[in-house]
Chains A and B, each alone.
Chain A
Amino acid sequence: MDHYVGIGELCVARAPSTIVTRGLGSCVGVVLHDINRSVGGLAHIMLPSSTDFTSYTNPHKFADLAIPAMHEQLLQLGGRNFKARIAGGAKMFATVSERAGFDVGVRNVERVRQVLRQLGIAIVNEDVGGSVGRTVTFEVSTGSVKVRSVGRGEQVL
């Protein structure tokens, strides 16, 4: 069964299934996987922190809310020990006009690492930064995470 995760969405599933998210730029795709219990999830995170906003419509676009929410849903699916793989967080435009200190890709990756650390989940592999867009395909049964980029082909995390 194939699941597609839109921008600012997340999805959890049991094996056998494939979860895909397309077109990660500064956004970060976070995969959590419990290989022994064959459950996994993928979140497409847009922004580091919900606390930067006074109001918002969708909590799952923020690293600080989406990852704990996905973790909780995976626990309910029967998962216990998770490993993380992350991809994205690129700087798509080489621009001089970027406000100092604001590179949303870098901030997204930093916040994702912090939230995973707080949950005690190790990142076993990653493909972050650079200036390329990425599409992520996650196979729940094996834990394989394929990252496809324009002009750079595919790599497996």
Chain B
Amino acid sequence: MQQVSSFQLDVLNEIGNIGAGNAATALSLLMGSPVDMTLPWTKFCPLEEGCALLSRPDEVGVGVQVGLDGSVTGRMLLTFDEASALHILLAFGDMLPEKDLDNEMARSALMEVGNIVAGSFVTALSEFLKASAWCSPPTLVHDYFDAFVCTVMVSGCQDTDYVLVFKTELQVGGKVLHSDLAFMPAEDSFRMIMNALGATGG
């Protein structure tokens, strides 16, 4: 496993928070509801530990997966429990006639939320790296948390054995939602990011 210093994680967390702030602004405009998003901490951990951090045994939830391409490749995953996903759909108001997690428009709306969060993160990261990177179209799954969390992490870890998990605090319309954010950079992208973040210090 790679060595990552707490300094590097702090800088990455700061970049993530710039992205989260921009995502919150964009989401408020989209939904017409106040949105607040912060990432209190970032954790670098082996695959299984990452799965365990986002695990909710036997619980069904929603995951939006976004691929990253360009100078930074990898995947991001944004998760919501069902109640939080429904709350987001309600925040869209009249824009969404059907507030049902299996409705096509509702799914598109949640994918757009994932797209905005991942896109804001990638923009903040690529500005820091002075490189260009972008998101591929999002995909959504509504199933057991453990099933899709592990699937995305494993697929994202084709050449690595670790993930970055961002503790996520998301509020929509004043309500605190249960949501998590994970980032699985490809090995070469991970090295590039860590080099840009500065000395490892061990």
Contact = CB atoms under 8 A, between A and B. Distances in A.
Given A8-B48, A61-B47, A104-B155, A92 B161 contact: no
Among A23, A58, A90, the most chain B Cβ lie within 10 Å of the Cβ of A23
A90 to B, nearest CB: 7
Interface string B54-74: 010110100001010000000
B52 to A, nearest CB: 7
Nearest to A23: B146
Interface in B151-191: 151-152, 154-155, 158-159, 161
A99 B67 CA distance: 10
Interface residues of A, number: 36
Given A6-B52, A55-B1, A150-B60, A92 B141 contact: yes
A43 to B, nearest CB: 13
A102 B155 CA distance: 8
B57 A93 contact: no
A7 B146 contact: yes
Given A7-B52, A53-B161, A25 B146 contact: yes
Contacts of A133: 143-144, 146-148
Among A25, A27, A46, A47, the most chain B Cβ lie within 10 Å of the Cβ of A25
Contacts of A26: 150-151, 154-155
A27 B151 contact: yes
Nearest to B156: A104
B137 interface: yes
Contacts of B143: 25, 92, 132-133, 150
A57 B1 contact: yes
A7 B151 contact: no
Nearest to B142: A150
B46 interface: yes
Contacts of B155: 26, 98, 102, 104
Interface of A: 6-8, 22-27, 46-47, 52-53, 55-58, 61, 90, 92-99, 102, 104-105, 131-135, 150
14 contacts: A7-B51, A7-B52, A23-B144, A23-B150, A25-B146, A26-B151, A46-B150, A55-B1, A57-B48, A58-B46, A93-B139, A132-B147, A150-B142, A150-B143
